[in-house]
Structure 1
Amino acid sequence: MASHLIQGRTVDMPVRVRDAEICSAFYPVRADAARAVIAYSGLDVAEALPGKAVCMLLFVDYRDGDLDTYHEFGMAFLVRPPGSSGAKGLADLRQAGIFVHWLPVDQRFTLDAGRSIWGFPKELADIELRLGSPYKRCILRKDDRLVLDMLIKPGVPVPGAAAMTPMDAYTHQDGVTRRVPWSVRAHGAKMRPSGALIRLGNHPVAKELSELGLPKRAMFTTTVSRAAMTFGAAVEV
């Protein structure tokens, strides 16, 4: 079994998360603008509609897992796997992976593990999650500047969401793009059209989001009250 030494601790592969709460919103953005944002990765965005890519914003409360407890925020894009045919629409989305562009966390151990094991773009940030009310809220600050204040309203239960199709996550660090096998088992999944509100701050990432056209109406939002996840070994692509 492969393992990694992080801060004097052995982390065995695959890395498992036994309990987490996930809130996410999916936004249609201009494909050319999204391509410009992730050009450094060598990957191409998937087009949900001609000329439209999908930007995903999510926040996660990791309550039990191999990398301890922590809060996380993610900015990601649906992308075509390397070497794919470049089909558009539903065919594009069926084979899409998730490229993780920015992934702030609030604990050092998961930061070091995420960067060294998979190349995830983790940075330390102040992530305040308020998950006990009808609205799920994330207040994200980096370098004492507000990035965003995000609200998500849970929707209706999603039948049969317990076993979700495994997806590939993609990362890029130090000139190397990697594929990370990733699977999720979801309990208490809910979905609704739109369902998110965002207030952007004055951080450079907030400017990047505004250049993608945010804040705007989300296509849909999802919440998962209890999720288990598995992250496999990264492979260079």
Structure 2
Amino acid sequence: MTPYPEEPWHLAGQMYLSLWLVPSRELPPVADGTRPVAIAGRGVVGAAWVVYENDSVLHYNELLRAVLVRDGHRPRVCITDIWVDSAASMAGGRELWGIPKEMADFDIDRTAGVRAGAVTRKDALATAAFEPGRRIPGRWPLTYRVAQTLDGGLKTSSVRSRSTVRTAKARWTAHESGPLRGLGRRPPLLSLALNDFTIRFGDTARAPSPPSAPPAPEACTWNEPTGGG
């Protein structure tokens, strides 16, 4: 088994994110027990390129697609497709949180804007070009929970992040024979560059409860004998 860090993972780096409204019939399957959030018959889909660097517990590249879902009435994010170039990240994502990570090769060029591509041994996955725009002042916090299927049940995990945010223009292409073929059919509704982010992914394991102390023995009472006459 490939070793990986225990949760939570503390990660940092750069993210290049696009959002779409996609007809419900084109949505990928989501975690058992959840349903896509529907807006006029469309679901919210995000796809992102991520570079984990700086103080990250692991350094690697990532391409993911996710769907906004609900668990009962609670909003969640379900990662439906994801590729990384780290065996430790793949093993940890699958075993800790039920995130279906696969391996891929990446080419990410950040010298002038951002140009990214990813391929597996079987598929050319996607390419994208991002042109970062205006910076939105401040560092923006975001807290949510990821919902995945793990060991036949629903597993939710917390995500807390903070980043600098820039607007962006993005152009995506996805090969029609590949698993992300829907991404290239329409331009993104919104694209952002989340720079110098920090993320805390996962929940702190609860310490086992201390064993109960044995009951104290009952006190013995000595009654003085009464004299008879």
Give the structure-1-normalised TM-score. Answer: 0.78
Alignment equivalent of 1:106, drawn from 85, 101, 107: 85
Bigger Rg, structure 1 or 2: 2
Q: Is the 8 A contact 1:178 1:234 kept in 2?
A: no
Q: Is the 8 A contact 1:61 1:72 kept in 2?
A: yes
1:233 is displaced (CA, Å) by: 2.8
C-alpha separation in 2, matches of 1:102 and 1:116: 16
Q: Please name the residue that 1:88 is paired with.
A: none
Q: Which amino acid aligns with 1:219?
A: L
Secondary structure of 1:54's counterpart equals strand
1:203 is displaced (CA, Å) by: 4.1
Where do residues 1-237 of structure 1 align in structure 2 (5 Å cutoff)? 7-8=2-3, 11-17=5-11, 19-34=12-27, 37-39=28-30, 41-47=32-38, 49-65=39-55, 67-80=57-70, 82-84=71-73, 96-134=75-113, 136-160=114-138, 162-187=139-164, 189-192=165-168, 195-207=169-181, 209=182, 214-233=184-203
Deviations 1:162-191 (A, max 9, x none): 24130111222453321110011103x112
The aligned length equals 205
Q: Percent identity?
A: 18
Q: Is the 8 A contact 2:116 2:129 kept in 1?
A: yes
Q: Which structure carries more helix by proportion?
A: 1
Cα distance change on mapping 1:8 and 1:56 into 2, 3 Å: closer
Q: Which amino acid aligns with 1:138?
A: A
Q: Is the 8 A contact 2:30 2:80 kept in 1?
A: no
Q: Is the 8 A contact 2:31 2:147 kept in 1?
A: no
Give the structure-2-normalised TM-score. Answer: 0.80
Q: Is the 8 A contact 2:123 2:178 kept in 1?
A: no
Deviations 1:101-135 (A, max 9, x none): 0110011111111111111110001121112212x
Point out where structure 1 has 5 or more consecutive residues left out of the alignment.
Answer: 1-5, 85-94
C-alpha separation in 2, matches of 1:173 and 1:143: 26
Secondary structure of 1:24's counterpart equals strand
Q: Is the 8 A contact 1:58 1:74 kept in 2?
A: yes
Q: Is the 8 A contact 1:119 1:171 kept in 2?
A: yes
Q: Which amino acid aligns with 2:127?
A: D
Range with bigger deviation, 110-119 or 69-78: 110-119
